[in-house]
Structure 1
Amino acid sequence: MGSAEVSTETGARRHSRALARPRHRPRLRRYGLRQSLTAYGFLAPALTLFAIFGVYTVAYGFMLSFNRWNGLSPEWEWVGLQNFKDLFSADPVLAPQVRGAVGKTAIVMVALPVLVIAISLPIAVMLNSLTRLRATLRTLYFLPYVTAGVGVYYAWRFMYEPAGAINTLLDGIGLGGLVQPDGFLGSTSTALPATLAVLVWMTVPLGILLFLTGLQTIDDSLFEAARVEGASQWTIVRRLIWPLLAPITALLVVICLREALQNFQLFLLMTNGGPVDATNVLGLEVYRLAFGRGNNNLGLASALGWALFAVALALSLLNLRIMRDRTRS
């Protein structure tokens, strides 16, 4: 068989393949469309719920922040940016309350991440150095985070009472000068630190778990090399562990900022903002504007909620940017 015959036969085969391809394309398209419709059919219930309880709720709350509404009247009253002005400056009664809540929230925002990191990192380093009982201790440390919140709040409330466990313990060990006759939640000087201690106690287990997870991804040879060079444990933590755990630290700071800005159940159930608004944080102020101020105004509550969201988003982005730059350097 000559080369001309071979090339002719090869060209004929290619031509037949080219003619056959278009016949299969409609079938493949129909099969792909059927697969896509099946996938979207399975996703439809979740997407519908997300659209109703997510997108619609967010859009509804955003529009509500520019209106006045008590939750019962059939119509909204459009006020534009007046809600935001009243919250921070225009209203002579409401603005001081909000500014006071800003101050309390700022204290929690600074103290919570500092205390959580300062407590959880050493415990995580200690747990990582153990070879026995690590899983058991990790479970015990994590229990406060998964325990039902309402029960924990009331348990701490009982311990903070005038005849509670903490006053009894202080009096029993000879520290009667620290006993609070009105209870730790009944004094304006101790109410906020007492509630902050509970929030720290509940957040530290998450910090321990995150730091321990990060430590277990670090090669042990780095620690051994540092010890061979004569580095102390403090130097290893400061020079080696801390920089390597910067991304986890950034995540933990974001979580603590979210808790400080949005958590209101703790303050609602333990103090309801008292005494004399000593524990009235912004998250609780949103709830009180909507349901607990007498003249319920869901528009003001929504406006303050969106202001909190903007602050939380800005702080989170700033924190992530700082940690990213520090990691690169």
Structure 2
Amino acid sequence: MSVLTLRERTRKTAAGASGGARRWSSRLTGVAFVLPAVALFLLMGVYTIASGLALSFAKWNGFTPRWIWVGVRNYLDLLYADPVLAAELRRAAGHTLQVMVAVPLLTVAIALPLAVALNSVGRLRAVFRTVYFLPYVTTGIAVYFAWRYVLEPDGAVNLLLRATGLGSLAQPQGFLGNPSTALPTLIVVLVWSSVPVATLLYLSGLQAIDPNLPEAAQLDGAAPRHVLRHVTWPLLRPITAAIVLLGIRDALHGFQVFLVMTRGGPGGHSDVLGLMAYRLSFFKGLAQTLGLASALGWLLFAAALLLTLVNARLLRAVR
């Protein structure tokens, strides 16, 4: 073997060792950057989830050093064993179901025509799109307080109804103080806040549709409503499924609007499951109800997971 060949092999071996060292150094550098985020996730994510799951099988008031293990008693109390809690849960579940059905349906019924109208507008499309999106970017708590002020007995809505000769529709105790109008009013507020995102989603979907498809249908004699129903609507079904899923998620887990505007009143007529879990966590802690709140949270998680799986199945079916 020549001296030149030995030198080449030595040089290649050294280059390979140097490249391997650089690769390991690069990997260690990447691990060093990722490790804090992973540690934070393990601490704030995995540990919190595991701790919450364990707490759902115990009773704790948030102050004593030890938990009282009760097994599945918390779940049984929520579902049927405790008459008071079970009745409260059924009432809140009924209200949550109404919100889950009404908000997505009304959002779709309002957002789709708005998106079609915006898509047909030329010069002022960006202006109208900004105006419709303002309710979403406005701070939620401030908006809810403004709504509560408008819906008071002497608020703008009652004043407007009386001024226009529709005083019979005014509510002397306010729209949020009347048990028959509190929940429908909150549903209207939720729809008002969810329409902007749905409108933009539909607008993006409309702009992605090949314009030759509706034009061909119109050339064949189809009316605009038939084009919307038989051409445009089927192509927007995946977006509709996503909007419905967002509405269901907000109905299951959202409670801010109910907390700020009614606190579940009057007389529990606007109570929902998310607000019930919040109340068990922070207002009845001395009664050792944190375990009940955690159990209710896991029931909500199971319901949300089931609905997500159903929605994913529907999405695959419409594609």
* TM-score normalised by structure 1 residue count: 0.92
Q: CA RMSD in A?
A: 1.9
Q: Does 1:220 align with 2:220?
A: no
Match of 1:29 among 20, 26, 38: 20
In the TM superposition, residue 62 of structure 1 has moved relative to its aligned partner by 1.1
Q: Does 1:262 align with 2:246?
A: no
In the TM superposition, residue 20 of structure 1 has moved relative to its aligned partner by 5.9
Show the 5 A alignment for 1:132-147: 132-147=123-138
Counterpart-to-counterpart distance in 1, 2:71 and 2:91:
24
1:79 match: 70
The 3-state SS of whatever aligns with 2:225 is helix
Asked if 2 retains the 8 angstrom alpha-carbon contact of 1:124 and 1:208, the reply is yes
2:97 match: 106
In the TM superposition, residue 63 of structure 1 has moved relative to its aligned partner by 1.1
Name structure 1 gaps, 5 residues minimum: 1-8
In the TM superposition, residue 22 of structure 1 has moved relative to its aligned partner by 4.2
1:316 match: 308
Counterpart-to-counterpart distance in 1, 2:231 and 2:16:
58
Asked if 1 retains the 8 angstrom alpha-carbon contact of 2:59 and 2:288, the reply is no
Asked if 2 retains the 8 angstrom alpha-carbon contact of 1:88 and 1:95, the reply is yes
Deviations 1:43-85 (A, max 9, x none): 2332232222222211111111111111111111111111100
Counterpart-to-counterpart distance in 1, 2:247 and 2:94:
17
Structure 1's 25 and 122: CA in aligned 2 closer, same or farther, altered over 3 A? same
What one-letter code is carried by the residue in structure 1 that aligns with 2:145? Y
Asked if 1 retains the 8 angstrom alpha-carbon contact of 2:115 and 2:199, the reply is yes
The 3-state SS of whatever aligns with 2:104 is helix
In the TM superposition, residue 295 of structure 1 has moved relative to its aligned partner by 2.2
Q: Does 1:306 align with 2:298?
A: yes
User: Structure 1 residues 190-199 or 45-54, which shifts more?
Assistant: 45-54
Asked if 2 retains the 8 angstrom alpha-carbon contact of 1:290 and 1:296, the reply is no
User: Structure 1 residues 15-24 or 220-229, which shifts more?
Assistant: 15-24
Q: Does 1:161 align with 2:152?
A: yes
Q: Whose Rg is larger?
A: 1
Show the 5 A alignment for 1:44-123: 44-123=35-114
Q: How many residues align?
A: 317
Deviations 1:8-39 (A, max 9, x none): x9xx98x9977765443322221111111212
Match of 2:162 among 152, 162, 171: 171
User: Structure 1 residues 57-66 or 269-278, which shifts more?
Assistant: 57-66
Name structure 2 gaps, 5 residues minimum: none
1:236 match: 227
2:194 match: 203
Structure 1's 43 and 325: CA in aligned 2 closer, same or farther, altered over 3 A? same
Q: Does 1:181 align with 2:176?
A: no
Asked if 1 retains the 8 angstrom alpha-carbon contact of 2:214 and 2:232, the reply is no
User: Structure 1 residues 46-55 or 279-288, which shifts more?
Assistant: 46-55
Structure 1's 86 and 20: CA in aligned 2 closer, same or farther, altered over 3 A? same
1:4 match: none
